Structure 1
Amino acid sequence: MQAGSSGAGSRIIKDNTAPLWRGAVTLRIVTFLFAVGVFSVHRDGYERPWLGWAVIAAVAVWTALTVYWFSRDRGRRRLLVGIDVMLTTALVVASHFVLSAEQLTRPVPLVPTIWASGCVVFAAVHWGRGAGAATGAVVTVCSIWARGYFNTDMARDAVLLVGIGFVVGLASTTARHSGAQLERALRAEAATKERERLARAVHDSVLQVLARVRRRGAELGGEAAELARMAGEQEIALRSLVAAAPQESTVDGEVDLRPELQLLTTPRFQVSVPATQVMLPATTAAELSSVAREALSNVDKHAGPEAGAWVLLEDLGDEVVLSVRDDGPGIPDGRLAAAENEGRMGVAHSIRGRVEELGGSLSLHTAPGEGTEWEVRVPRRRTRRKGVGR
């Protein structure tokens, strides 16, 4: 069931613009029939009828090929769309040599007539609104060159071509984004269901065993008490793992920072995060979780085995604040500078360096006997800041 959901999401991403492609193919067929009808009406007055027939033959062949290609996923390639634009504009320009001078000024429709709008729609569906509007402008310029003048009717056609390219391209981009959002929702649903299933299985087996070992070992004392303590630590770590929300990612590569921090929970280290998602670029989230791990590692190394620590994550909208506080003996004045001079670069590289790369600010509050608190502030938009200090 879950695999099917994931497969469905992949198919959505692949085929979410399929209705637009089918509409564009239908438009090409209809406009081809219209072009043939217009050519039949005006064929006797053409300057070079044989060239007109050649243009109509090219339009017919290319219509058949594009209908075949663009009706299939594998045929919707960038190269074919580009060739379609170039061939369409060439056929529009060729009308200059087909129509007589009188037909050009009367005016009589160019040989491809509204069939030329098909390349605008294909480009818009494939590349988006910018390419669609640009293709409409290119077709307009070629039409103006073929006639040799510009009037109100041609201005109207230009607005329609550019507008069609923009609107269809916007619809195509929206369809792709909607498909990506639906795929993420399906993946999150599948991941949540799998996590809930694993949580039930773990709770019914491993967690119950660990809890029993912890209680029984504490009752027995001695070496069994040490085993009980270790079992309790693993129980808490496992509970944090199955309780953490699954990692989600957006189209822009953003992830929720909370699960990474929740996994740091131990009997000594407590983690508090917002109830709602804290979405950040994946690299930023990874660096912040590394900062938290390094700060907790320092607590484990230097604050003593009895010291506890608290990790707090706050989402202030325009910035994210990560605080790591412990109740250890604190850092003596000048100790960090001395450690850096001695070549021990843990704080300088692992914490301060990461925060600088993120364009954030870092502050340290500590004193002998008062514990240590690191506070990291990272803006949501990357803006280089100076002033990473104590």
Structure 2
Amino acid sequence: MSVELPLWRALTGYRVLTLVYTLCLVALSYRKYEHPLVAVGYMGALTVWMALTWRRTTSPERCTRHFLIADLGFAVGGILLTLLVDSRARIMDGAPTLPSIWAAGAVLGFAIKGGWRWAAVASSAVAVANLVVRQELARDTIHNVVLVWVASVAIGYVVEVARASERTLARALQIEAATRERERLARDIHDSVLQVLAMVQRRGAAIGGEAAELGRMAGEQEVALRTLVAGGLVPPARPGTARPVPHEADGDGEARSVPYDEGAAGRAAASGSVPSAAAGEPCDVRALLAPHAGAGVTFSEPGAPVVLPAAAAAELAAAVSAALDNVRVHAGAGAHAWILVEDEPHAVIVTVRDDGPGIPEGRLADAEREGRLGVALSIRGRLRDLGGSAEWVSVPGQGAEVELTVPKGAAPEGGKRGKATA
């Protein structure tokens, strides 16, 4: 993700290429110098310096402040040494200095390492050295000085902006990862702890006596825990947390005080047939959903295995279980539900439909704004983490239908993220 690394590589290439160019210039002007041996000596020292330090500009860790100062010293020293090597006439005619355009590489190193302020200081030092050599404000001298100064400051500013953007992106990715972990933990709590607390509250109220006080305390803890989870203050959970307790929840996510019923999905989980989220082997979705079939649930499946990664299959089965719980609570004991499994080329689609009264318009959105967890996390959150979607269709008086789509190869916390619509 580093924005700087390509810049450092480009600087290394620039220094090498400009050294070759400068050596060619000195070779072509050898006979024109007043003291050619001094020019050869400087170029030899510069070549040795480059051979010993070329790796210094390949990464920000290697390019230290001391190296940059020494590199700038070679550039400024070479510019000033031109007064001794070349004739006054050639200098005034615009002959290049000894380091020529190689000197810009030292300035660019300051720009990439320290930003525009460092670049301004380094380019000013090079500018002063060039003005001392020319001893007058010639047009071409001013042009070159301004060009180096503006280019280095601009590159330094761009580097600072890129670093700030990189830090912002890293922070955003950390927040996104933490949010997804919190949502997954919230689903676990909703599917287990909150349901048990609701059951304890109902049973305690029915028994009376000291049990009633215990039920009241359980109800208070349920409200406090629900508020904590909805507010996003729960620390992240370990990946692959199992969902051990079957649940009863209403369609808007609020835990209801209904009799605890270890249904087909619960028996499957208790028997160990539901794979853990850490399992990586393929799993037939039909084997996880078939136990739901019964007098009130019709299960339709393809004739061939419907394969998903075990973790994705477990998440999909848990979402279907939550949808059936909503049917039992809202549509009533006499309602009938249908489960349809479709194996598409790139995705597995499971549709859960019932013949109940349907979901009032806007009820799902209202429940999510109120911080209720059933649909928002137990169904929609699971599918979103798999890169899939959960889509509801409901007509008052004609039942409700939820279509759960999981892309093949999906696994919790992996793959691309999908959208979930209601």
Distance 1:197 1:115, change over 3 A: same
Match of 1:165 in 2: 152
Match of 1:75 in 2: 62
Contact 2:12 2:58 in 1 (8 A): yes
> Does 1:97 find its partner at 2:64?
no
> Does 1:43 find its partner at 2:30?
yes
Residue identity opposite 1:177 in structure 2: A
TM-score (normalizing by structure 2): 0.52
Tell me the number of residue pairs that the alignment of Structure 1 and Structure 2 aligns: 234
1:236-269 CA-to-partner distances (Å, cap 9, x unmatched) read 222233222479xxxxxxxxxxxxxxxxxxxxxx
Give, in whole Å, the separation in 2 of the partners of 1:127 and 1:246: 39
Match of 2:217 in 1: 230
Give, in whole Å, the separation in 2 of the partners of 1:168 and 1:246: 42
Q: 1:219 aligns with which of 185, 206, 228?
A: 206
1:13-51 CA-to-partner distances (Å, cap 9, x unmatched) read xx3201111111111122112211111121112222222
> Does 1:149 find its partner at 2:136?
yes
Give the Å deviation of 1:179.
1.4
Residue identity opposite 2:101 in structure 1: I
1:74-120 CA-to-partner distances (Å, cap 9, x unmatched) read 31323322322233222222222211222222231100011100011
* Structure whose residues are more often helix by fraction: 1
Match of 1:28 in 2: 15
Aligned CA RMSD, in angstroms, stands at: 2.0
| Paired residue secondary structure (2:34) | coil
Give, in whole Å, the separation in 2 of the partners of 1:146 and 1:106: 12
Residue identity opposite 2:187 in structure 1: R
Match of 1:305 in 2: none
Give, in whole Å, the separation in 2 of the partners of 1:82 and 1:240: 58
Give the Å deviation of 1:209.
1.2
Contact 1:214 1:232 in 2 (8 A): yes
Calculate percent identity across the aligned residue pairs. 38
> Does 1:191 find its partner at 2:174?
no
Give, in whole Å, the separation in 1 of the partners of 2:105 and 2:11: 7
Match of 2:102 in 1: 115
Residue ranges of structure 2 left out of the alignment (5+ in a row): 235-422
Match of 1:178 in 2: 165
Distance 1:139 1:245, change over 3 A: farther
> Does 1:87 find its partner at 2:87?
no
| Paired residue secondary structure (1:94) | helix
Residue ranges of structure 1 left out of the alignment (5+ in a row): 1-11, 248-390
Q: 1:139 aligns with which of 104, 113, 126?
A: 126
Contact 1:192 1:246 in 2 (8 A): no
Give, in whole Å, the separation in 1 of the partners of 2:233 and 2:200: 29
Contact 2:46 2:74 in 1 (8 A): no
Contact 2:80 2:132 in 1 (8 A): yes
| Paired residue secondary structure (2:105) | helix
Give, in whole Å, the separation in 1 of the partners of 2:172 and 2:4: 19
Contact 2:78 2:97 in 1 (8 A): no
1:111-145 CA-to-partner distances (Å, cap 9, x unmatched) read 00111000111111111122212321211111111
Distance 1:245 1:99, change over 3 A: farther
| Paired residue secondary structure (2:96) | coil
Residue identity opposite 2:13 in structure 1: T
| Paired residue secondary structure (2:97) | coil
1:201-241 CA-to-partner distances (Å, cap 9, x unmatched) read 11111111112122222333333333223222322222233
Give, in whole Å, the separation in 1 of the partners of 2:168 and 2:43: 43
- Any residues of structure 2 matched to 1:1-390 within 5 Å, and which? 12=1, 15-245=2-232
Give, in whole Å, the separation in 2 of the partners of 1:73 and 1:161: 22
Give, in whole Å, the separation in 2 of the partners of 1:210 and 1:246: 20
Distance 1:174 1:37, change over 3 A: same
| Paired residue secondary structure (1:74) | coil
Distance 1:83 1:179, change over 3 A: same
Runs of 4+ in 1 over 6 A off after TM superposition: none
Residue identity opposite 1:28 in structure 2: R
Distance 1:120 1:210, change over 3 A: same
Give the Å deviation of 1:73.
5.0
1:291-349 CA-to-partner distances (Å, cap 9, x unmatched) read xxxxxxxxxxxxxxxxxxxxxxxxxxxxxxxxxxxxxxxxxxxxxxxxxxxxxxxxxxx
Max Rg structure: 2
Give, in whole Å, the separation in 2 of the partners of 1:173 and 1:104: 37
Contact 1:133 1:161 in 2 (8 A): no
Distance 1:178 1:225, change over 3 A: same
